[in-house]
Amino acid sequence: MKQEELIKVLIKELLQMEEVHYEYTENDKTYVLDSEKNGNELNIKVSINENKDKSEFENWANQLDDDIFEEVWQSLSEECNLHDLNELYESDNYKEVIDKFKDMTKKVITNKINNYKKLISY
């Protein structure tokens, strides 16, 4: 379909609706289309929002000691099934993996700290 034809169809369809809000996510970017009809005027806004949650989480996780990261990942793998975790992280529910990973990291580090405290106080 030619570009002009696509635009014609889009305009005709949008003019038939009073208001449109549509979002979809692909490759950690959310594309948003908003349109509003005011009389004979059609206002269209298209925006792209990059998902920074994953990049911020990955930067945070990269700061962890390799042994701690491995222990956390292993614990989560046993608890949640590694394959399912990867699939979940690549889905719209990726925040669940981030939350689980952060919670498990706190548990692992807290246990390590408590063990080191016992060694120091010995």
Question: Could you state, in order of their start, the residue ranges of all structural domains in the chain?
Answer: 3-50, 52-121
Query: Mind listing the pLDDT tens digit for each residue in 7-33?
Result: 888 888 888 888 999 998 887 788 999
Which whole number is the average pLDDT over 89-109? 91
* H/E stretch holding 32: strand 29-38
On average, the pLDDT of the chain sits at 88
Residue type, 48: I
82 pLDDT above the threshold of 70: no
Q: What's the pLDDT band for 1 if we cut at 50, 70, 90?
A: low
What does the alpha-carbon distance between residue 59 and residue 61 come to, in Å, rounded to a whole number? 6
Quick check: 29 and 48 in contact, CB under 8 A? yes
Residue for token pair 């046993």:
78
Q: Would the pTM count as exceeding 0.85?
A: no
Q: Is 72 exposed, middle or buried (0-12, 13-18, 19+ CB in 10 A)?
A: buried
Residues in the chain: 122
Q: What is the pLDDT of residue 102?
A: 95
In this prediction, residue 39 carries a pLDDT of 87
What does the pLDDT read at residue 66?
94
CA 77 → CA 82, 95, 97, 98, distances in Å? 4, 17, 11, 14
Average pLDDT over residues 53-82: 90
